[in-house]
Amino acid sequence: MATRHSRSAARLMMAPAVILLLGWMLVPLTMTLWFSFRKYLPMRGGDLGGVGFDNYVRFVTSSAFWPSVQATLVIVGGVLAITVTFGVLLALLLDQPIWGQGIVRILVIAPFFVMPTVSALVWKNMFMDPVNGLLAHLWGFFGAEPVQWLSQAPLASIILIVAWQWLPFATLILLTAIQSLDSEQLEAAEMDGAPPLSRFGHIVLPHLGRAITVVVLIQTIFLLSIFAEIFVTTQGSFGTRTLTYLIYQRVLESQNVGLGSAGGIYAVILANIVAIFLMRIVGKNLDA
Amino acid sequence: MGQITLEKVTKSFGDVEVIPPLDLTIQDGEFTVFVGPSGCGKSTLLRLIAGLEDISGGTISIDGQDATSIPPAKRGLAMVFQSYALYPHMSVRKNIAFPMRMAGLPKDEQDRRIAQAAEALNLTDYLDRRPGQLSGGQRQRVAIGRAIVREPSAFLFDEPLSNLDAALRVGMRLEISELHKRLATTMIYVTHDQVEAMTMADRIVVLRAGHIEQVGSPLELYRSPRNTFVAGFIGSPRMNFIEGAAAQALGAHTIGIRPEHIDVAAQDAPWQGTVGVAEHLGSDTFFHVHGTGLAETLTVRAPGEVSFRHGDRIGLAPRTQEFHRFDAEGLRIA
Ligand SMILES: Nc1ncnc2c1ncn2[C@@H]1O[C@H](COP(=O)(O)OP(=O)(O)OP(=O)(O)O)[C@@H](O)[C@H]1O
Ligand SMILES: [Mg+2]
Q: Render pLDDT for B251-304 as a digit per residue (tens, 0 to 9).
A: 889 999 999 999 988 767 888 899 999 999 889 999 999 988 888 899 999 998
- 3-class secondary structure, B306: coil
More confident residue, B66 or B2: B66
- 3-class secondary structure, B171: helix
Nearest ligand to the CA of B209 is 1
Burial A53-85 (b: 16+ CB within 10 A, else e): ebbbebbeeeeebeebbebbebbbebbbebbbe
The Å distance, Cα B39 to ligand 1 centre, comes to 5
Over the stretch A209-240, which tens digit does the pLDDT of each residue have?
A: 888 888 888 888 888 888 888 888 887 778 78
B210 in contact with ligand 1, CB cutoff 6 A: no
Which residue in chain B has the smallest CA separation from A190?
A: B73
φ, ψ dihedrals at A220, nearest 5°: -55, -45
| Beta carbons of A191 and B89 less than 8 Å apart | no
Contact status, residue B286 vs residue B278, Cβ threshold 8 Å: yes
The protein residue with its alpha carbon nearest to ligand 1, atom 14, reads: B41
More confident residue, B211 or A46: B211
B243: exposed, middle or buried (C-beta count within 10 Å: 0-12, 13-18, 19+)? middle
What confidence score (pLDDT) does residue A58 get?
81
Mean pLDDT of B232-248: 90
What confidence score (pLDDT) does residue A287 get?
56
Over the stretch A97-142, which tens digit does the pLDDT of each residue have?
A: 878 878 888 888 888 888 888 888 888 888 887 778 788 788 888 8
Query: How far apart (Å, rounded) are the C-alpha atoms in residues B175 and B186?
Result: 16
What confidence score (pLDDT) does residue B269 get?
83
Q: Across chain A, which distance is largest between two alpha carbons, in Å? A: 78
Domains of chain B in sequence order: 4-226 (3.40.50.300), 237-326 (2.40.50.140)
What confidence score (pLDDT) does residue A134 get?
81
| Beta carbons of B81 and A189 less than 8 Å apart | no
What percent of chain A is predicted at pLDDT more than 90? 18
What confidence score (pLDDT) does residue A285 get?
62
Query: How far apart (Å, rounded) are the C-alpha atoms in residues B54 and A281?
Result: 42
Q: A15-19, A124-128, A161-165: which range is least confident on average?
A: A124-128
Chain A residues touching residue B145 (CB < 8 angstroms): none
Domains of chain A in sequence order: 52-287 (1.10.3720.10)
Identify which of B47, B329, B132, B26 has the alpha carbon closest to the alpha carbon of residue A288.
Answer: B132
B11 in contact with ligand 1, CB cutoff 6 A: no
What confidence score (pLDDT) does residue A5 get?
81
What percent of chain A is predicted at pLDDT more than 70? 97
What confidence score (pLDDT) does residue A167 get?
92
What confidence score (pLDDT) does residue A1 get?
52
Chain B residues touching residue A200 (CB < 8 angstroms): none
Identify which of B26, B33, B34, B20 has the alpha carbon closest to the alpha carbon of residue B5.
Answer: B26
Mean pLDDT of B37-53: 92
| Beta carbons of A190 and B150 less than 8 Å apart | no
Its pTM stands at 0.80
Mean pLDDT of B235-246: 90
B145 in contact with ligand 1, CB cutoff 6 A: no
Q: How confident is the model at residue A151 (pLDDT cuts 50, 70, 90)?
A: confident
A90: exposed, middle or buried (C-beta count within 10 Å: 0-12, 13-18, 19+)? buried
B37 in contact with ligand 1, CB cutoff 6 A: no
From B17, B19, B44, B161, mutation site for ligand 1 pocket: most ligand atoms within 8 A of C-beta:
B44
Mean pLDDT of B28-57: 92
B227 in contact with ligand 1, CB cutoff 6 A: no
- For residue B85, the distance in angstroms to the closest alpha carbon of chain A comes to 5
Q: A146-155, B38-47, B196-205: which range is least confident on average?
A: A146-155
Decide if B150 touches A, using CB distance below 8 A: yes
- Per DSSP, helices labelled H in chain B are 42-50, 92-103, 107-120, 136-148, 166-183, 194-200, 218-223, 228-233, 245-248
Mean pLDDT of B94-117: 91
Chain A residues touching residue B146 (CB < 8 angstroms): 188, 192
Average model confidence (pLDDT) for chain B? 90
- 3-class secondary structure, B159: coil
Average model confidence (pLDDT) for chain A? 85
Residues with CB under 5 A from ligand 2 (ion): B 43
Cα angle: A192, vertex A94, A133; to 5 degrees:
135
Nearest-atom index, ligand 1, CA of B207? 21
- For residue A213, the distance in angstroms to the closest alpha carbon of chain B comes to 15
Mean pLDDT of B10-25: 91
What confidence score (pLDDT) does residue A137 get?
81
The protein residue with its alpha carbon nearest to ligand 1, atom 6, reads: B13
Over the stretch A65-88, which tens digit does the pLDDT of each residue have?
A: 888 888 888 999 999 999 999 999
More confident residue, A279 or A30: A30
pLDDT over 80 at A279, yes or no: no
